[in-house]
């Protein structure tokens, strides 16, 4: 009996060791993929329910972000996305449907902040997993209502007035030929101190377009790459003014300024007061790109009597022509309903080519295209 136990022991221990290693691999290496799968499920459920209420997925704002997060031995890629929803969006209905959809996938709505009844706005849904503690979030969805628009009288026989802003010019001249071919006035937002900043401004003016400064401002996400000369919260006033002066000088002929990124900076009253006071001194308008739902720009501009405007639609959060067209459809709807609307797109081939084709067609249908300076809200 003793001999039998001794001869079987090494093989038995080897089997146990192998089994233990496999089990450890399952415990320590499968969990991250399980959690990432749950992130995808949470995102899929959230977006599908948005579609049910008529929200176009391409309406996600530009400051969506992701980051790796950890809890004990588990790791997952956290995602946060902001979506813009129409004024009639039913938050209570969405909240209830989301809870039910998550429960079916054994996911948790760990925190909800915002309106519990229709009428108040901006809300956040934090989605978690039973595999994690309740303080941990897999996916965060932020809903923002479309910016309020100031009604503009629609000309007799017309369908509405539209201003299209094209951001991020100055790095290259690649899309300039397309810009030159568009005869309807565009507003060209040019980044400062780049190789072609001044040249793009001159070309834009020569072809009937309105140049503005695309002023780099601090984003909430510290991992977002910054342009040189980005205005940061907490910077001394004298330094802000010096940076602005250099930026404005690098783009001759501008009529106004809009923010590049800036979800953190435009929410800071101290920095924004300095910026707006300087724009007033120089007789320039401010276009709030609305990268943050809590921007103080419009309210401060009104107080300081600075002409201003607000972006209503982002055209090209994706490079898909189908998504861009959907956003153009949203833009024309807002123009019809409110009399006018402002959209922001970018110096990108897909955007420029679609505008070259679509803008003349919309003009024939009765939409009027103007620079932003014709749609300013005066204090």
Residue with tokens 């055209």: 315
Q: How confident is the model at residue 12, as a pLDDT?
A: 63
CA 374 to chain centroid, in Å, comes to 25
CB atoms within 10 A of CB 154: 18
Average pLDDT on 317-321 reads 89
Return the H-helix or E-strand segment holding 71: strand 65-71
Higher pLDDT, 114 or 359: 359
Note the maximum CA span of the chain: 105
Q: How confident is the model at residue 156, as a pLDDT?
A: 52
Per-residue pLDDT tens digits for 70-95 = 998 899 999 988 887 876 788 888 99
| Paired sense of beta strands 123-128 and 139-145, if any | antiparallel
Percentage of residues of the chain with pLDDT beyond 70: 83
pLDDT of residue 55 exceeding 60, the answer is: yes
Residue with tokens 């679509």: 358
- Using a 10 angstrom Cβ sphere, with 0-12 exposed, 13-18 middle and 19 or more buried, the burial of residue 53 is middle
Return the H-helix or E-strand segment holding 324: helix 321-338
Q: How confident is the model at residue 119, as a pLDDT?
A: 41
Residue 29 in tokens: 């290496």
Q: Which of 59-68, 97-106, 125-134, 195-204 has the lowest mean pLDDT?
A: 59-68
d(CA 352, CA 179): 7
Per-residue pLDDT tens digits for 145-155 = 766 555 555 55
d(CA 292, CA 63): 8
Q: How confident is the model at residue 379, as a pLDDT?
A: 57
pLDDT range class, residue 317, cuts 50, 70, 90: confident
Residue 143 in tokens: 């809903």
pLDDT of residue 176 exceeding 80, the answer is: yes
Q: Which of 58-62, 79-83, 265-269, 281-285 has the lowest mean pLDDT?
A: 58-62
Per-residue pLDDT tens digits for 249-262 = 999 999 999 999 99
Return the H-helix or E-strand segment holding 298: helix 297-304
Q: Would the pTM count as exceeding 0.75?
A: no
């Amino acid at each position: 009996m003793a001999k039998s136990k001794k001869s079987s022991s090494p093989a038995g221990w080897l089997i146990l060791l192998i089994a233990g290693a496999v089990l450890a691999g399952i415990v320590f290496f499968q969990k991250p993929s399980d959690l990432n799968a749950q992130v995808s499920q949470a995102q899929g459920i959230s977006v599908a329910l948005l579609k049910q209420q008529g929200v176009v997925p391409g309406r996600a704002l530009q400051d969506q972000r992701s980051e790796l997060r950890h809890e004990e031995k588990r790791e997952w890629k956290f995602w946060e996305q902001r979506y813009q929803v129409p004024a009639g969006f039913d938050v209570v209905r969405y909240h209830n449907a989301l809870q039910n959809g998550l429960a079916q996938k054994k996911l948790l709505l760990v925190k909800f902040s915002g309106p519990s009844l229709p009428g108040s706005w901006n809300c956040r849904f934090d989605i978690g997993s039973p595999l994690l503690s309740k303080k941990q979030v897999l996916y965060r969805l932020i809903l923002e209502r479309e910016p309020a628009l100031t009604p503009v009288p629609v000309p007799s026989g017309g369908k509405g007035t539209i201003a299209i802003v094209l951001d991020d010019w100055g790095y290259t001249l690649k899309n300039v030929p397309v810009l030159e071919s568009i005869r309807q006035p565009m507003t060209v937002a040019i980044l400062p101190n780049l190789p072609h900043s001044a040249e793009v401004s001159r070309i834009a003016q020569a072809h009937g377009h309105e140049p503005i400064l695309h002023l780099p401002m601090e984003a909430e996400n510290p991992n977002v790459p910054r342009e040189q000369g980005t205005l940061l919260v907490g910077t001394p006033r004298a330094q802000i003014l010096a940076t602005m002066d250099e930026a404005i000088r690098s783009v001759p002929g501008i009529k106004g300024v809009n923010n590049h990124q800036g979800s953190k900076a435009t929410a800071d009253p101290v920095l924004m007061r300095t910026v707006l006071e300087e724009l007033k001194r120089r007789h320039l308008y401010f276009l709030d790109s609305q990268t943050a739902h809590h921007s103080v720009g419009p309210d401060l501009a009104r107080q300081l009597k600075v002409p201003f405007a607000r972006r209503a639609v982002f055209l090209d959060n994706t490079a898909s022509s189908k998504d861009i067209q959907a956003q153009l459809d949203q833009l024309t709807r807002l123009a019809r309903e409110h009399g006018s609307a402002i959209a922001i797109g970018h110096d990108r081939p897909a955007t420029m080519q679609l505008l070259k084709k679509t803008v003349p067609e919309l003009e024939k249908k009765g939409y009027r295209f103007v620079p932003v300076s014709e749609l300013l809200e005066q204090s």
